[in-house]
Amino acid sequence: MNFDLTVIIPAYNEMENFQAGKLNQITGYLTQKKLPWEIIVIDDGSTDGSNLLIKNWVLKQPGWRFIQNHHQGKAATIQTGISLAKNKFTLFTDFDQATPISEVEKLLPFIKKNYPIVIGSREIKGALRQKEPSYRHLMGKVFNFLVQLVAVRGIHDTQCGFKIFNTRIAQQLFRSLKVYRPKPEKYAFTGAFDVELLFIANKQRIKIAEVPISWSHEATTRVNPWRDSVRMFWHVLKIRLTDLAGGYN
């Protein structure tokens, strides 16, 4: 199977992760595997100066591109990358490599089985979670329960930042977003855009494979889990309300 891959890496205030060589891990793996690939790093308006260092590094790497966005949150950052993707399939992966790029090996067999969407999962049998504080795990469990109750049934982990999409379908889904339209953000914000993407995919009866992966918690001060959790709960409810109002028809 001809598996050509665009890798999208959202970035926001990534100085520590950049200095830890996270980008080297990605390019090292993909070069070793000799896959037809391109990598797009999209900075979400970083304020710590990391964007300039990352840009200078990326410009020296063949097959890499750097895009500078205004600060609009993770959904808009990934949407920018999706709109520019040239290859048939697109992988979203986090800058901190909490899920190592090598875990793509576990997702590829499902692409070969013609799944247009393959998502990494930290919750299903076979997954491995490491170094995660108990309160964060509990918060994730509660959020996943709400998501299954209100929006996306049958998927146990919508929020893992490691997903492969057929690029054409991803572009279509991002254009259909209603709750997560691009807008300025004040704080670092990941949000529940994955829930809205998968909700729309379910409505359109697009096949989704959920695959267990290995994941390690990476501590960060960039986000406020309590503030963001409240906002994400509200957004999940908005997704359901938008659907009831016919917004996704």
Model pLDDT for residues 10-49, shown as the tens digit of each residue? 999 999 999 999 999 998 898 888 778 899 999 999 999 9
- pLDDT tens for 94-110 read 999 999 999 999 999 99
User: Does the pLDDT at position 1 exceed 60?
Assistant: no
Q: How many CB atoms lie within 10 A of CB 109?
A: 12
Distances (CA, A) of 118 to 22, 49, 53, 183, 228: 23, 34, 32, 28, 25
Task: Say if CB 55 and CB 66 are below 8 A apart.
Answer: yes
**pLDDT, position 136:** 80
For the whole model, what pTM was predicted? Answer: 0.93
Which domains does the chain show, CATH number per domain? Answer: 5-244 (3.90.550.10)
**pLDDT, position 205:** 96
